[in-house]
Chain A
């Protein structure tokens, strides 16, 4: 299982990268969702002006 070569520092770094990576992917999707919501509000605002 590769335990002889196991390095705690490398393991932690990889896992931190992984967690940060997952968070940034979720963040990206939330960002897009917020923009989509803003588009909906913007359109309704435009319609209310017309």
Chain B
């Protein structure tokens, strides 16, 4: 308990002083220690939902995403939302961390005071792997051959049930 209290005090004392951003993992795993304190998070935007004068921006960092409550005008400046074919905008968020925000249904979130887009995202161009395409073509050909072979041997043996009729 004592050890925990010391770590807690250290975090409270050092966190605002350090310019480095916390990781999502740290924030989520030590939510109780960070609760109500000022935190900094830097990561990629992976989701934006406009809610009147505010917006939810989900910021992804190191395998975890955290919801950040921002002003709507800040969210409107976001150009790219990260997904498979896009690298989302990189943002730097400073704000109050809540382990279970009572105003947001108990969600773990950050209420942003400063929200800066540090780098704009971009579309990611993905090209097919030639070897994979070649293997798939060979296997498809083999599959078709094996089906034709099977069909020729067992012609007429298999019965397929008629298409379902639900209202009978």
Chain A interfacial positions (CB closer than 8 Å to B): 1-2, 5, 10-11, 14
- Asked if B165 and A11 sit within 8 Å, CB to CB, the answer is no
A46-B165 Cα distance, complex, nearest whole Å: 55
Residue of A nearest to B168 (CB): A2
Chain B interfacial positions (CB closer than 8 Å to A): 163, 165, 167-168
A14-B168 Cα distance, complex, nearest whole Å: 10
The DSSP consensus for interface residues of chain B is loop
The DSSP consensus for interface residues of chain A is helix
From B163, B165, B167, residue with most partner A Cβ within 10 Å: B167
Residue of A nearest to B165 (CB): A2
Other 7 A-B pairs with CB < 8 A, given A1-B163, A2-B168: A1-B165, A2-B165, A2-B167, A5-B168, A10-B167, A11-B167, A14-B167
Residues of B within 8 A of A10 (CB): 167
Residues of A within 8 A of B165 (CB): 1-2
**B42 smallest CB distance to A (angstroms):** 36
A5-B165 Cα distance, complex, nearest whole Å: 12
**A11 smallest CB distance to B (angstroms):** 6
**B77 smallest CB distance to A (angstroms):** 38
**A26 smallest CB distance to B (angstroms):** 20
**A23 smallest CB distance to B (angstroms):** 19
A50-B163 Cα distance, complex, nearest whole Å: 64
Residues of B within 8 A of A5 (CB): 168
A1-B168 Cα distance, complex, nearest whole Å: 10
A49-B168 Cα distance, complex, nearest whole Å: 59
7 contacts between A and B (CB under 8 A): A1-B163, A1-B165, A2-B165, A2-B168, A5-B168, A10-B167, A11-B167
Residues of A within 8 A of B168 (CB): 2, 5
A11-B163 Cα distance, complex, nearest whole Å: 18
Residue of B nearest to A1 (CB): B165
A10-B165 Cα distance, complex, nearest whole Å: 14
**A44 smallest CB distance to B (angstroms):** 12
